[in-house]
Amino acid sequence: MNSSSMKKLYAISSAFVLCALLAAPIALNAQQNKPWEKIPIPKLHDFKPQQPKRIVLKNGIVLFLQEDHELPFVSGSVTIPGGSRDEDPAKAGLVGLYSQAWRTSGTAKLDGDALDDLLEAKAAHIETEGDEDSTALAWDSLKGDADQVFSLALDLLLHPRFNVEKLQLAQQQEATGIVRRNDDESRIAERESDKLVYGANSPYTRQPELATVGAVTLDDLKAWHDRTIGGKLIVGIAGDFDPVAMEAKLRAAFEGLPAVKPEPPRHDVFAGPQPGISFIDKEDVNQSDVEIVGLGTDRRNPDVPALAVMNEILGGGFASRLFQKVRTELGLAYEVGGGIGFDYDHPATFRVGVLTKSASTVDATRAALAEIAGLTARPFTEEELARAKDDILNSFLFRYDTRDKVLAERERLEFYGYPADYLETYRAALEKVTLADLGAAAKKYIHPGKLAVLVVGNGPEIKPGLDELKLGPVHAIDITIPQPGKQSGKQSGQPGPAENTQ
Amino acid sequence: MQSRMRTAALALGLAAMALAGAWTTQAQDLKSFEQKTTTKVLPNGLTLIICERPEAPVFSYSTFVDAGDVNDPSGESGLAHMFEHLAFKGTSEIGTKDYAAEKIALAKVEAANDAYEAEYLKAVGRDEQKLAELKKAFKEAEVEAHKFVIPNQFTDVAERNGAEGLNAETGLDETMFFWSMPENRLELWAYLESSRLADTVPREFYKERDVVIEERRMRTDSNPEGRLFEQFVATAYVAHNYGRSSIGWPSEVSQINATEAMEFHEKYYVGANIVVAVVGDVKASEAMPVLEKYFSRVPAGPKPEEMTTVEPRQFAEKTAVIRDPSQPLYVEGYHRPDYRDPDNAVYDAISDILSNGRVSRLYRSLVRDQQIAAGAEGVSPYPGGKYPGLFFFIAAPLPGHTPQEMRNAIHAEIDKLKTADVSGEELAMFKTRTHADLLRGLADNQGLANSLAEYQTRYGDWRELFLQLDKVDKVTKADIRRVANQVFVPGNRTEAWIETEAPAAAAQKDAGAQ
């Protein structure tokens, strides 16, 4: 989730809000003739992003209505608090199964297959999804079918069926994902480096296994649904509808539900990684995926604007330090980038990633580590600050250039309890970031000694070896996929379950 | 920067379709689009399209060059993609401290590389010491040339002015450059884009070549699907360039030089071979003269001649098996005609009925009922559509099931298409979804710019984006049965799969370049 809205533009002069769009780039090089700087940049056309109408029902459910009459479609969604971080660890994968079987089972009146036939004949959709902190029901259709599709979606929300065959189908799909999870190098690197940061058993990283997926029952799905459906639902509708009629329809549908129950407060512990270097051997690759990770922060942190500017300088775009050094100057990577992450309600990860040929693993890792250390050692320049601000502020408009994006941002802010004018405040804070702020943020948040390095690659091809990095003993991670009822194997890096290799 | 590996229908197949009955999308939308859309062909042959969509003060553009890796000369696979990377390196004005001096330094780099390559490629009597010296001389020339470079200035100017989604893609058939920007940067954009098309400088070429080889390692060598797809098309084709690695064979992409890249540019980056589409908060009456001024700088030149090679009819069934530690995956393909074929919409119908969503035949048969696959699809054209491509099937078996089961189940579904008519509901669904999908795509500046430029290039008229619906509406059950019987025959088939083998047994590995 990251997008945007601009509220209350009527209260602020649009010239103020958009002024950064007019700022001309600063000269890089005095003697260079720069014809592009002579090209006039006129004032941007006036623009007031249309905000959705927000309605809070007496039971606490929140409705957003975003009219858009460009095309004859209507779409909607219901966001429900509670996601995979709230699962029973012994049933990890439950939300993934739930989000499939909920939709494929269908409603009490109409089974999932019949629902598919009915909707697809109208080029309409109703789908369910599961996330780390929420689940959702979403639909869309042509205007003429909107009433019927809405009532089917509402049926699915309030009268789901949950069918055991569809649960089994979902379990098979999940199992396929599990046995294939070590095929792709980048997936391994991302997953295992997250575990280094949060811990393998954290609600944010624990992974579904064949055993935990197999342990989920139909009753578990029903219990999950009954519990989460009583939370603070956020309903958003967008498209070509009559606002008065739509509001009446939504009130009729949601006003009668019981008062929402607040989510209990969370007590997660975020310790950050053990410093050092880990390795996962994968013999069928000729490129290493190097991930340098640590603990990030959350968006409520007032240092986030400074950190966002720092990220842009470190790994944001073509002009960033990492890109310039590792890709352009050294030619060691196609993919390189990263920065400190911020989530809405918990610390994200700090992450710098590089993909490089096996033989240059050590060189590329060193170069990336040097750029990270350089954040505190090499002072930021006025030019870097100006460039990073231009990059961020001049494209800020793309956070709210469609009505769908404005709606999605408002739903997100509502979900996480942020003020509706968050983007405006954030933008204003970005504009105010100074060199001193950057220096202070780097000092406060960049601690190379606290970072963990993970390399996924082809061991015999990595020469010089990882010990050359002098980051301490290289810790081998075993990613063998546990088979239910069996001890996990000792060799690392390969799935190789016998029953899958006929 | 991305090399496009298409597994799904190409944008040309951008499904469209008509709600049975009172659905008038086609005529209505074409009419409203004709009012909003202005086309102009410049004296140099370049076509400009402006579509006014003032929803927000932004615009998106797409530069569509009718040249891709299918046009790479023999021995230079990956060249079109390599050139695409070069188009981010600046011009004689952007990215240089002193172009006159840099030009001389770049010529020296090229001469040093030629000398090194000549020695390196000697079949007999290569002098290793001389080779090392030549390598050193080349590196020194590179360092000398680098002194004049302002790295990444082209993208820097774009990004500082609000460019969003800045990227490019090289497919087998085409190369596309695109981004979105605040509308008050239109003239600046026209300067930047026309400059890089007209005035490319082969700056930092050899470092960028290393970057591209790294991209190959990521997409192909170190990716099980990438390895499978590359072997699959190489098996399916015997003559046409669609069978070649599109990102380039390691030995070839690692020896492409800047001279070759600039020759490619001279031949293919001419006005007649380029369409530029702009969609967003732009008034054609004001913007067209500005665009005309800048894009007139692109050199005129004849439309490059079409290639003579036509893939000969396949009559031998072919198979490729990769023994690999990764999980099993099955693909097969059948040669089909190019996008201009009168049956093009029939292939789209077959693809939709077989593969689109949980109502599709392959999902219901392989995933829901037989429970042998996690997913299965049949789409076309692959790997490209400008020339005869393949109708391509892919299936991922569930744990405990085999590629052979995927093949048998897919063949059973193909037999059904050949021996019985599809239902009226299936055919209507295809048409309805095609119309709705086209309509949904109209609300996206970037997607629309891409489609307008592509249809203008492929049909000589962007209106075909809407007019194709007419062909979609005319597809009959008999058409589907006829085409299935024509194309899905064993002699026209190539199968490939990954056979999972424990690491120790998979002794031989294919490494990439270097």
Q: What angle do CA B95, B64, B4 make, to 5 degrees?
A: 90
Q: B506 at the A interface (CB within 8 A)?
A: yes
Whole-number pLDDT of residue B69: 97
In a 3-state reduction of DSSP, which class is residue B220?
A: helix
Q: Where are the alpha helices (DSSP H) in A361-492?
A: 361-377, 382-394, 403-416, 422-432, 435-445
> Which residue's structure tokens are 């858009």?
A68
Q: How do residues B95-137 score in pLDDT, each as one tens digit? A: 999 999 999 999 999 999 999 999 999 999 999 999 999 999 9
Task: Answer whether B192 touches A (CB < 8 Å).
Answer: yes
Q: How many CA atoms lie within 13 A of B64 on its CB side?
A: 26
pLDDT band for position B311 (50/70/90)? very high
For B367, name the nearest residue in chain A, comparing CA atoms only.
A169
Q: Which residue has the higher pLDDT, A33 or B398?
A: B398
CB atoms within 10 A of CB B191: 23
* Contact assessment for residue B95 and residue B158, using Cβ atoms and an 8 Å cutoff: no
Contacts of B452 by beta carbon, 8 Å cutoff, 6+ apart: B37, B49, B51, B62, B277, B279, B462, B465
Give the pLDDT mean for B193-198: 98
Domains along the sequence of chain A with CATH: 9-28+42-47+270-420+429-469 (3.30.830.10), 53-254 (3.30.830.10)
Parallel, antiparallel or unpaired: strands B318-324 and B274-280: unpaired
d(CA B450, CA A385): 34
Buried b (16+ CB within 10 A) or exposed e, A101-139: bbbbbbbeebbbbebbebbbbbbbbbbbbbbebbbbbbb
Sheet hosting strand A474-476, strand order edge to edge: A297-298, A336-343, A347-357, A287-295, A452-457, A276-281, A474-476
Q: Say how far apart CA A260 and CA A82 lie, in whole Å.
A: 13
pLDDT at B27: 59
Beta strands A234-239 and A276-281 are unpaired
Q: Which residue has the tokens 């040093």?
A: B112
> What is the C-alpha to C-alpha distance for residues A317 and A324, in angstroms, rounded to an integer?
9
User: Are the beta carbons of B214 and A334 separated by less than 8 Å?
Assistant: yes
Q: Do A394 and B161 touch (CB under 8 A)?
A: yes
- Asked if the Cβ–Cβ distance from B191 to A333 is below 8 Å, we say no
Residues 464-493 of B with CB under 8 A from A: none
- Tell me the three-class secondary structure of A314-363, residue by residue: HHHCCCCHHHHHHHHHCCCCCCEEEEEEEECCCEEEEEEEEEEEHHHHHH
Q: Residue B444 contacts by C-beta under 8 Å, 6 or more apart in sequence? A: none
Which of A120, A324, A391 has the CB atom closest to B152's CB atom? A324
Which of B193, B210, B214 is best to mutate for the A interface (most A CBs within 10 A)?
B214
3-state DSSP helix/strand/coil % of chain B, to nearest 5:
50, 15, 35
| Helix orientation angle between B258-268 and B79-86, rounded to the nearest 10 degrees | 90
DSSP designation for B219: I
In angstroms, the CA B220 to CA B226 distance is: 4
Do β-strands B274-280 and B47-52 pair in parallel, antiparallel, or remain unpaired? Answer: parallel
Q: Which of A442, A421, A411, A66 is nearest to A243 (CA)?
A: A66
Nearest CB among A36, A40, A286 relative to B217 is that of A286
What does the pLDDT read at residue B25?
54
Best to test chain B binding among A22, A103, A397, A402 (most B CBs inside 10 Å)? A397
pLDDT interval class at B30 (50, 70, 90):
confident
Check if the beta carbon of residue B473 is closer than 8 Å to that of residue B431.
Answer: yes
**Domains of chain B with CATH codes:** 2-295 (3.30.830.10), 318-500 (3.30.830.10)
Please, which pLDDT band fits residue B86 given cuts at 50, 70 and 90?
very high
The pLDDT assigned to A485 comes to 73
What's the CA gap between B119 and B124, in Å, rounded? 10
Per-residue tokens: B53: 């969509």
Chain A CB contacts of B52 below 8 Å: none
Of A49, A74, A166, which is closest to residue A126 (Cα–Cα)?
Answer: A74
**Model pLDDT, residue B26:** 56
The encoded tokens of residue B82 equal 């390599």
Contacts A183 to B, Cβ<8 Å: 224, 326-327
Contact (CB<8Å) B184/A184: no
């999908």: which residue's tokens?
Answer: B437
Cβ burial A354-364 (10 Å sphere, 16+ → b, else e):
bbbbbebbbbb
Q: Are A224 and A95 in contact (CB under 8 A)?
A: yes
In angstroms, what separates the C-alpha of B311 from chain A's closest C-alpha? 33
Query: Per the CB < 8 Å rule, is B184 touching A116?
Result: no
- The answer on pLDDT for B508 being more than 60 is no
State the alpha helices, DSSP H only, in B327-444: 344-355, 361-362, 403-419, 424-441
**pLDDT value of residue B509:** 44
Q: What is the pLDDT of residue B29?
A: 74
> Residue B194 belongs to what H/E stretch?
helix B186-198
Residue A25 token pair: 């780039």
Residue A91 and residue A95: Cα distance in Å, rounded? 9
Q: With the C-alpha atoms ordered B427, B428, B431, B436, is the resulting torsion angle positive or negative?
A: negative
- pLDDT surpasses 70 at B372: yes
CA-wise closest residue to A87 among A156, A138, A133: A133
Contacts of B211 in chain A (CB under 8 A): 327, 331, 333-334
- Are B511 and A286 within 8 A, CB to CB? yes
Nearest CB to A36; choose among B157, B164, B500: B157
pTM: 0.91
CA–CA gap between residue A396 and residue A380 (Å, rounded): 23
Instruction: Tell me whether residue A498 is exposed, middle or buried, using C-beta atoms within 10 angstroms of its C-beta: 0 to 12, 13 to 18, 19 or more.
Output: exposed
User: What are the residue ranges in chain A where pLDDT is below 50?
Assistant: 1-30, 488-502
Q: Does B360 contact chain A (CB < 8 Å)?
A: no
pLDDT, position B503? 66
Residues of B in contact with A25 (CB under 8 A): 157, 160-161
User: CA of B268, closest CA in chain A: separation in Å?
Assistant: 26
pLDDT for the residue numbered B82: 94
C-alpha A240/C-alpha A140 separation (Å) is 11
pLDDT at B400: 95
Give the model's pLDDT for residue A318.
85
Q: State the pLDDT at residue B8.
A: 29
B443 and A70: CB-CB below 8 Å?
Answer: yes
Q: Do A359 and B88 touch (CB under 8 A)?
A: no
pLDDT at B510 over 80: no
**pLDDT for A31:** 66
Q: Mutate which of A172, A280, A290 to disrupt the B interface (most B C-beta within 10 Å)? A: A172
Q: Is the Cβ pair A71, B439 closer than 8 Å?
A: yes
Contacts of A496 in chain B (CB under 8 A): 325, 500, 502-503
B2 confidence band (pLDDT: 50, 70, 90): very low
| Confidence band for B63, pLDDT divided at 50, 70 and 90 | very high
* First-last CA distance in chain B: 22
Distance from CA of B266 to the nearest CA of A (A): 24
Cα–Cα distance measured from residue A227 to residue A107, given in angstroms and rounded to the nearest whole number: 18
Predicted local confidence at residue A5, as pLDDT: 30
The CA distance from A20 to B50, in Å, is 27
- Cβ neighbours of residue B149 under 8 Å, at least 6 residues apart? B95, B96, B97, B102, B203, B204
Q: Is it true that the peptide bond before A464 is cis, omega within 30 degrees of 0?
A: yes
From chain A, the residues in CB contact with B428 under 8 A are 121
Can you tell me the mean pLDDT for B422-451? 96
Q: Where are the alpha helices (DSSP H) in A239-323?
A: 243-254, 304-311, 321-322
Q: Are B57 and B233 in contact (CB under 8 A)?
A: no
Sign (positive/negative) of CA torsion A236, A238, A240, A243? positive
Structure tokens at B266: 């001279």
H helix or E strand, kind and range, residue A66 = strand A62-67
pLDDT of B9 above 70: no
- Indicate the residue type of B223: N
Percent of chain B with pLDDT over 90: 90
